[in-house]
Amino acid sequence: MASRLGMGLFLIASLIAAMGLFQTAVADTYTVGDDLGWTIPPGGSIAYSTWARTKNFEINDTIVFSWTNTHDVAEVSEADYDNCTKTNPIGSVQQTSPANFTLDSNRSRYFICTISNHCELGQKVTINIGEWNSASSLTIGAALSLLLSTIVISLLSHQI
Ligand SMILES: *[C@@H]1O[C@H](CO)[C@@H](O)[C@H](O)[C@H]1NC(C)=O
Ligand SMILES: *[C@@H]1O[C@H](CO)[C@@H](O)[C@H](O)[C@H]1NC(C)=O
Ligand SMILES: *[C@@H]1O[C@H](CO)[C@@H](O)[C@H](O)[C@H]1NC(C)=O
Ligand SMILES: *[C@@H]1O[C@H](CO)[C@@H](O)[C@H](O)[C@H]1NC(C)=O
Ligand SMILES: [Cu+2]
């Protein structure tokens, strides 16, 4: 009986340790668009919003814009992003592929291609940091709590 309790405590400690590991994730690198790369997306900007939605961007992650042919990448304000305004980039326009950006704060980042009408055709991407992350942490936390209670309940019922 004591060993069963010991085993239970060990499992709980392991789970808590695993949760801790989960939260100190190392910085990741994401290639914008994955295999599509940085280009005029065939179906418009939804290609990049869909791509971004599945990613868990965190501080210190790096995003890589990789392209062939004639493109570039500029970070812009949200308003300039919405309007595809190319004349007021934040920092310099990156002309060489691959162009890397480090997500150094929690703010959202807006990137467009400044060539011709590429932005209007959908070559633009928004990077939101933390949103998906906090939602998924809650889900993971809830799932782990459920697992933990199940283990404890099953251990207790076996003891009787
Ligand atoms: C990001 O990297 C810097 C420098 O390596 C480090 O000091 C900081 O703690 C990191 N931030 C996070 C949230 O990991
Ligand atoms: C964006 O474009 C619209 C329509 O042309 C204009 O009314 C609006 O002022 C522009 N916003 C910015 C921030 O440039
Ligand atoms: C950009 O990231 C890519 C992929 O991780 C890497 O191969 C390349 O060296 C990086 N370039 C710069 C300038 O950091
Ligand atoms: C970024 O947001 C996360 C989640 O809301 C928070 O835990 C973290 O402290 C924030 N980091 C900074 C530098 O604001
Ligand atoms: Cu382009």
Separation of CA 92 and ligand 5 centre (Å): 16
- Write the pLDDT tens digit of every residue in 39-83: 999 999 999 999 999 999 999 999 999 999 999 999 999 999 999
The closest-lying atom of ligand 1 relative to the alpha carbon of residue 27 is 14
Query: Is the pLDDT at 12 greater than 50, yes or no?
Result: no
Asked whether residue 90 is domain-assigned, the answer is: yes
The pLDDT score that the predictor gives to residue 42 is 95
Closest residue CA from atom 13 of ligand 1? 59
Examine residue 4 and state whether it is found in any structural domain, yes or no.
no
Gyration radius from the chain CA atoms:
22
Residue 65 lies in a domain: yes
Total domains in the fold of the chain: 1
Query: What residues contact 147, with CB distance under 8 A and at least 6 apart?
Result: 15
Task: Give the domain CATH number at 54.
Answer: 2.60.40.420
**The pLDDT value given to residue 24:** 55
- In this predicted structure, what is the pLDDT of residue 158? 73
Cβ neighbour number for residue 159 with a 10 Å cutoff? 10
pTM: 0.73
Q: Is residue 112 part of a domain?
A: yes
Query: What are the C-alpha distances in Å from 75 to residues 83, 122, 138, 139, 157?
Result: 13, 15, 31, 32, 59
Q: Report residue 26's pLDDT band, with 50, 70 and 90 as the boundaries.
A: confident
| Domain encompassing residue 65 | 28-133
**Three-state DSSP class for residue 76:** strand
In a domain, 146, yes or no: no
CA–CA separation, 138 and 142 (whole Å): 6
Cβ distance 122 to 40 under 8 Å?
yes
Residue 148, domain member (yes or no): no
